[in-house]
């Protein structure tokens, strides 16, 4: 189960609309003002783990990653679809330990 995050651009309002695609179904997350760096990173779709990476060098992209995390958690509670793998952090620690 792989989750992709992508944004669509609205030409008449200068907005980005963010969606999560999981198992072929798209879920609307939020909208925000259009930024070029955000469009470059998210317009073609990006894996969830990369989308939540806050170490990117663009301030708008870092803030978007923070908003993505909070909106994904909120959407999980609303509709009951799980986007985030709760055990991912534990699994990565175990793999690193060998």
pLDDT in tens, 8-62: 988 778 899 999 998 888 999 999 999 999 999 999 999 888 888 777 788 898 8
Mean of all residue pLDDT scores within the chain: 81
Mean pLDDT to the nearest integer, 77-93: 64
Residue 86 pLDDT:
59
pLDDT at 30: 92
Strands 3-10 and 15-22 come out as antiparallel
Is 98's pLDDT higher than 50? no
3-class state of residue 8 by DSSP:
strand
Helices (H) and strands (E) in the chain, counts: 4, 4
Question: Please, where are the H alpha helices in the chain?
Answer: 36-42, 48-51, 59-79, 88-97
Tokens of residue 55, six digits: 């170490």
Q: Is 63 exposed, middle or buried (0-12, 13-18, 19+ CB in 10 A)?
A: middle
The pLDDT value given to residue 32: 92
Q: State how far the Cα of 73 lies from the Cα of 75, in Å rounded to an integer.
A: 5
Looking at residues 81-85, what average pLDDT do you find? 73
């Amino acid at each position: 189960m792989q989750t992709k995050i992508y944004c669509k651009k609205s030409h008449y309002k200068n907005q980005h609309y963010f969606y999560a695609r999981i198992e072929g179904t798209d879920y609307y997350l939020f909208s925000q003002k259009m930024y070029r760096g955000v469009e470059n990173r998210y317009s073609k779709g990006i894996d969830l783990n990369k989308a939540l990476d806050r170490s990117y060098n663009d301030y708008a992209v870092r803030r978007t990653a923070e908003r993505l995390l909070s909106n994904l958690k909120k959407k999980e509670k609303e509709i009951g679809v799980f986007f985030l793998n709760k055990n991912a952090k534990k699994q990565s620690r175990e793999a690193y330990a060998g």
